[in-house]
């Protein structure tokens, strides 16, 4: 575990530096917008999605230097989604990653524009960054995958379902569908972008990545729901109990807390089983599955 913890720390440091190098300085015009983009993207978060990119890439033999661009792209999309989710017209949150949300630190209009700019920048670097040394067809495939994960079939669609579900009782199947879009889609694409950084990956391995990412994407959200019940603001970096206050459907609400924990553990087992075609190369992804489900923040 110490070796894994060190690897995770190095992934976090690496993507932080890569993001810092690619985001324009806070003095670049329009400075207010660039300052807000840096505020919400840098120095925060667990960088789970970036770590999944690096771990999946490592499993197919891609060097970390080839994975910086997709790792940055998924973190930019994630940062944009958090900024927009926190807005008054959405979840109206005051705290994110242990500091004031973007619309509180700046203003609503700047937060909206910062999210827009971060989203478009993710696709810009996937399309143009010269450090991503793959063929044009593979690059286009990665862009399409990220677009699908962020759009109506992925995060945006999941958030729309979430907003419409307040005060309603969803079935477990409906809840799962919502979270496979809202949370699972970006988890899935993080794994796939890492794998696609290396061309010619065997079909059996790509299927393993698909099954793994499906399981941990859902497990990630179940763990979030559990932490909303059991966590505290100091460790979570945001106010706990918000979903319950807003009457949102969650796994503990539908299944009970103990059953939700059991479901997360079962999904972890599925994720680990799916990695068999990768052999020892899947070890890091296996450890990440444990980290995702056993985390306390």
Both tokens of residue 181? 């879009």
pLDDT higher than 90, residue 233: no
Q: What is the 3-state secondary structure (H, E, C) of 17-30?
A: HHHHHHCCCCCCCC
φ and ψ of 96, to 5 deg: -150, 130
Say what the pLDDT of residue 236 is.
52
**The pLDDT of residue 170:** 85
pLDDT of amino acid 247: 66
Q: Please tell me the predicted confidence (pLDDT) of residue 166.
A: 75
Whole-model pTM: value is 0.92
pLDDT in tens, 162-200: 888 877 788 889 989 998 999 999 999 999 999 999 988
Query: What tens digit of pLDDT does each residue of 155-172 get?
Result: 999 999 988 887 778 888
Other CB atoms closer than 10 Å to residue 206's CB: what's the count?
14
Burial group, residue 148, by CB count within 10 angstroms (0-12, 13-18, 19+): middle
Strand partners, 100: 95
Element (H, E) at 37: helix 31-41
**pLDDT over threshold 80, residue 295:** no
Confidence (pLDDT) at 98: 82
Q: pLDDT category, 4, cuts 50, 70, 90?
A: confident
**CA–CA gap between residue 251 and residue 236 (Å, rounded):** 18
Separation between Cα atoms, residue 28 and residue 22, nearest integer Å: 13
Under the banding of pLDDT at 50, 70 and 90, the label for residue 150 is very high
Note the pLDDT of residue 234: 54
What number is the average pLDDT over the span 191-211?
A: 94
Residue 203 CA to residue 230 CA, distance in Å, equals 40
In the prediction, which pLDDT does 296 show?
Answer: 63
151 or 133, which is more confident? 151
Measured between alpha carbons, how far is 209 from 188 in angstroms, rounded to an integer?
8
**Mean pLDDT, rounded, of the chain:** 90
Structure tokens at 184: 């699972």
Position 241 confidence tier, pLDDT thresholds 50, 70, 90: low
Interval 238-264 mean pLDDT:
78
In angstroms, the CA 60 to CA 70 distance is: 15
pLDDT score of 208: 96
């Amino acid at each position: 575990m110490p070796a894994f913890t060190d690897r995770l720390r190095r992934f976090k440091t690496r993507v932080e530096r890569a993001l810092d190098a690619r985001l324009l300085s806070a003095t670049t015009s329009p400075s207010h917008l660039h300052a807000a983009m840096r505020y919400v993207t840098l120095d925060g978060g667990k960088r789970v999605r970036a770590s999944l990119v690096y771990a999946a890439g490592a499993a197919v033999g891609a060097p970390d230097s080839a994975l910086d661009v997709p790792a940055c792209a998924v973190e930019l999309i994630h940062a944009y989604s958090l900024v927009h989710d926190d807005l008054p017209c959405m979840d109206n949150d005051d705290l994110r990653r242990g500091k004031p949300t973007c619309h509180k630190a700046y203003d609503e209009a700047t937060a909206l524009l910062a999210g827009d700019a971060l989203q478009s920048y993710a696709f810009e670097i996937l399309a143009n960054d010269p450090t991503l040394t793959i063929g044009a067809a593979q690059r286009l495939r990665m862009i399409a995958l990220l677009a699908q994960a962020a759009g109506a079939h992925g995060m945006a669609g999941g958030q729309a379902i979430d907003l419409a579900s307040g005060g309603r009782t969803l079935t477990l199947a409906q809840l799962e569908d919502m979270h496979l879009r809202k949370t699972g889609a970006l988890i899935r694409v993080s794994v796939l972008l890492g794998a696609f950084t290396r061309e010619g990956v065997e079909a059996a391995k790509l299927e393993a990545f698909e099954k793994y990412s499906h399981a941990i994407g859902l497990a990630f959200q179940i763990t979030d729901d559990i932490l909303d019940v059991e966590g505290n603001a100091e460790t979570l970096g945001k106010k706990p109990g918000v979903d319950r206050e807003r009457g949102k459907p969650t796994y503990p609400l539908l299944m009970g807390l103990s059953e939700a924990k059991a479901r997360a553990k079962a999904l972890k087992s599925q994720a680990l089983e799916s990695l068999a075609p990768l052999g020892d190369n899947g070890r890091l992804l296996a450890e990440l599955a444990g980290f995702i489900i056993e985390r306390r923040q």
